[in-house]
A and B are shown apart, each in its own frame.
Chain A
Amino acid sequence: MDLFEYQGKQYFSRFGIAVSPGDVADTVDEAIAVANRVGYPVVVKAQVKVGGRGKAGGVKLANDVDEVRLHAGNILGLDIKGHVVRRLWIERSSDIEKEYYASFTLDRPNKTHLGMLSAQGGVEIEVVAEENPGAIAFLSIDPVRGLDIETSRRWVHEAELDEVAREQAAQLLVKLYDCYTAGDCDLAEINPLILTPDGKVHALDAKVTLDENASFRHPEWEEYRATETEDPREKMAKEKGLNYIGLDGTIGIIANGAGLAMSTLDVVNQVGGSAANFLDIGGGANADVMAAALEVINSDPKVTAIFVNIFGGITRVDEVAKGVLEALGRVTINAPIVLRLDGTNAVEGRAILAPHLNDRLITEPTMLDAARRAVSLANA
């Protein structure tokens, strides 16, 4: 789950990482109130989960109340690459002496954590990596040992941060690592991390991605979930505990397992169709989950055929079959359903469906056959 900048900054604050004083505002009046509280000049920043806010006019400096009114009014409702601005972050403007870059993420090939630190911040790190890779100090961190202050001090030295910034930066990086690990982040990034003319180091931006698998130990994440802007189909699916991604095609896809779901998309595409979604009902799905999946697909008006592709492992095909019947009993499914059922308890599952098969509920023996049938029904 990606956080908005303001959420990232609030998350940083929990771990003692210095950020500019500021607050959120959903209206022009709130923006003025925050600005009066934190003191001028302020920066008015659009809260959208997309890059390039500054260029799109979503970040403005305001020296007084009139300028806050003007900029807040202009930015609220602004469309930035399809993301409409509903919320602002107002913070005290900082004088900048230097801009650095710092981040922690998982180094998958090496199965360790990776710290990246650069004295050249404020630009995209991918660009720095491409044009001047020597400007990034990489640090591989053993997840068992973690990051201690001595290592952090060596690291800021190696990255050639300004002398005056080094001790503060070293301390801040240990806190950022703590945020990254104890806070269960997939990514914790500060760009830019700034040095002010009076010698203070703090985070001017915050990019945080949380690992949703860890939500069981983070009840405080609930408020972040509430602000997630989603495709209405995706929202409905999430409420039902399904793993759904909306696409633009006409064939509704339900499969068990992410790999099989992806493969189903591929195969539908290869036989001339296009998928309306990716939907993985997960491992061990029961009849309720299957029925919910069909209902989510059914809510998409573009769907003209549904392809249910199940290879039971931990998921039992008889449960899937029961779910299909349950959904058919509960709501009117608008599109014909083609099923391919194999694996755990497939014989029982097929037997459950057998008496109900007709031209709107069809089984096919293989994945390719089922894909072809679904495509021909969708195009009929």
Chain B
Amino acid sequence: MSIFVDENTKVIVQGLTGGQGKFHGLRNRDYGTKIVGGVTPGKGGTDVDGIPVFNSVKEAVQATGATASFVVVPPKFASAAILEAAEGGVTFIVCITEGIPAHDEAVTYNRLVEDYPNVRLLGPNCPGIISPGKCNIGITSGDIALPGGPVGIVSRSGTLTYQALYELTQHGIGQTTCVGIGGDPVPGTNFIDCLAAFEADPETKAVMMIGEIGGSEEERAAEWIKLNMTKPVVSYIAGVTAPPGRKMGHAGAIISGSKGTAQAKMDALAEAGVHVCLNPTEAGLKMVEIVQAL
């Protein structure tokens, strides 16, 4: 089984007529994802390679029965697009947009929680979600994923998500679902949401968790794992050699004082019984070992 999405998930793409929206929307469709529509205000009635375009999410949902939206719009429009998706009746939103102001993210997140409690936002600034062989919403290259499980992946970093998939696929280890939660300060979905879903999913037998410096999400995840997780978890935390006080790309990736260091996160995870590895390759090999022993 997969988490959050499956082979029946119908998806619309907000921003399908833009360059990135078209490229990745069509790639997602080619992968087999049910991309049923696009949304671009003012372009309703047109189509992109046979995919109908609507003026609003509401119209698109009414016409197609979509339950998920892939938001690929520039930062200044992203918050409005996310809220429009929720208002339009979509229950799962993937936003890959990088560079949204933190205050916009904070307001959007809380608006969703308060007004649309049944909606899950993944991202922003994330690679999306792929359930190999079933559904791919986002920018992950489908050919690096392998269907059939038994590993679930959750990652805070975009490219390291691909690296994690690749390390497993190379060794013939499949994935149930791979979720990139993104590295922004206010992510819609966090490690614990994904760990809980993987713990509940009977087909997921082990989880790979990729974290990075900054914040305290990994420490909170460690706490949750200690209390609730019965399945083995392998983790890698990027940024062991990162200098303090400097933003390493992501707004969220910064070591402030003694807080947020890779070492603190690795210690917390190790203490929770997680297999902590020093690089993605080592994490991949550890997972191979675990899966072979299942």
In this complex, how many residues of chain A approach chain B with their Cβ under 8 Å: the count is 51
Tell me if A55 is interfacial: C-beta within 8 Å of chain B. no
CB < 8 Å: which of A144, A261, A342 contacts B107? A144
Tell me if B240 is interfacial: C-beta within 8 Å of chain A. yes
Report the Cα distance A259→B248, complex, angstroms: 8
Considering the complex, give the chain A residue whose CB is closest to the CB of B128: A313
Tell me if A41 is interfacial: C-beta within 8 Å of chain B. no
Report the Cα distance A216→B76, complex, angstroms: 8
Q: Is the CB of B139 within 8 A of A313?
A: yes
Stretch at the interface among A5-13, A267-275, A323-331: A267-275
Stretch at the interface among B31-39, B54-62, B152-160: B152-160
CB < 8 Å: which of B109, B162, B216, B250 contacts A311? B162
Instruction: Among B107, B155, B210, find the residue whose CB has the most chain A CB atoms closer than 10 A.
Output: B107
CB < 8 Å: which of A108, A261, A262, A367 contacts B252? A108
**B 229-247 contacts with A by CB, 8 A:** 236, 238-243, 246
Tell me if B212 is interfacial: C-beta within 8 Å of chain A. yes
Fill in one digit per residue for A347-380: 1 if any B CB lies within 8 Å of its CB, else 0: 0000000000000000000111000000000000
Q: Is the CB of B99 within 8 A of A342?
A: no
Stretch at the interface among B1-9, B42-50, B194-202, B275-283: B275-283
Q: Is the CB of A214 within 8 A of B110?
A: no
Report the Cα distance A211→B106, complex, angstroms: 13
Tell me if B253 is interfacial: C-beta within 8 Å of chain A. yes
Fill in one digit per residue for A232-262: 1 if any B CB lies within 8 Å of its CB, else 0: 0000000000010101000000011111111
Distance from A126 Cβ to chain B, minimum over Cβ atoms (Å) = 7
Known contacts A108-B215, A342-B166, A259 near B281 by CB under 8 Å = no
Stretch at the interface among A22-30, A221-229, A280-288, A297-305: A280-288
Instruction: Among A113, A213, A245, A283, find the residue whose CB has the most chain B CB atoms closer than 10 A.
Output: A213
A residues near B131, Cβ cutoff 8 Å: none
Q: Is the CB of A111 within 8 A of B186?
A: yes
Q: Is the CB of B243 within 8 A of A247?
A: yes
Q: Is the CB of A278 within 8 A of B216?
A: no
B residues near A211, Cβ cutoff 8 Å: 101-103, 251
Chain B interface category by residue count: 35 or more
Considering the complex, give the chain A residue whose CB is closest to the CB of B163: A311
Q: Is the CB of A270 within 8 A of B278?
A: yes
Q: Is the CB of B241 within 8 A of A259?
A: no
Q: How many A-B residue pairs have CB under 8 A?
A: 176
B residues near A186, Cβ cutoff 8 Å: 102
Tell me if A112 is interfacial: C-beta within 8 Å of chain B. yes
Q: Is the CB of B141 within 8 A of A213?
A: no
Tell me if B174 is interfacial: C-beta within 8 Å of chain A. no
Tell me if B148 is interfacial: C-beta within 8 Å of chain A. no
Considering the complex, give the chain A residue whose CB is closest to the CB of B239: A262
Known contacts A266-B279, A269-B241, A311-B166, A259 near B103 by CB under 8 Å = no
B residues near A184, Cβ cutoff 8 Å: 101-103
Distance from A283 Cβ to chain B, minimum over Cβ atoms (Å) = 6
Considering the complex, give the chain A residue whose CB is closest to the CB of B72: A314
Report the Cα distance A140→B190, complex, angstroms: 20
Q: Is the CB of A109 within 8 A of B101?
A: no
CB < 8 Å: which of B250, B251, B279 contacts A263? B279
B residues near A243, Cβ cutoff 8 Å: 249
Tell me if A48 is interfacial: C-beta within 8 Å of chain B. no
Residues of A within 8 A of B (CB): 106, 108-109, 111-113, 126, 142-144, 181, 184, 186, 211, 213-214, 216-217, 243, 245, 247, 255-263, 265-267, 269-270, 275, 278, 280, 282-284, 311-314, 342-344, 366-368
Residues of B within 8 A of A (CB): 20, 24, 75-76, 96, 98-104, 106-107, 109-111, 114, 127, 139-141, 144, 155-163, 166, 183, 185-186, 210, 212-213, 215-217, 220, 236, 238-243, 246, 248-253, 257, 278-281
Q: Give me the 10 closest cross-chain CB pairs, A-B, nearest first.
A: A259-B157, A258-B249, A257-B159, A260-B159, A214-B101, A259-B160, A143-B106, A262-B238, A262-B239, A280-B249
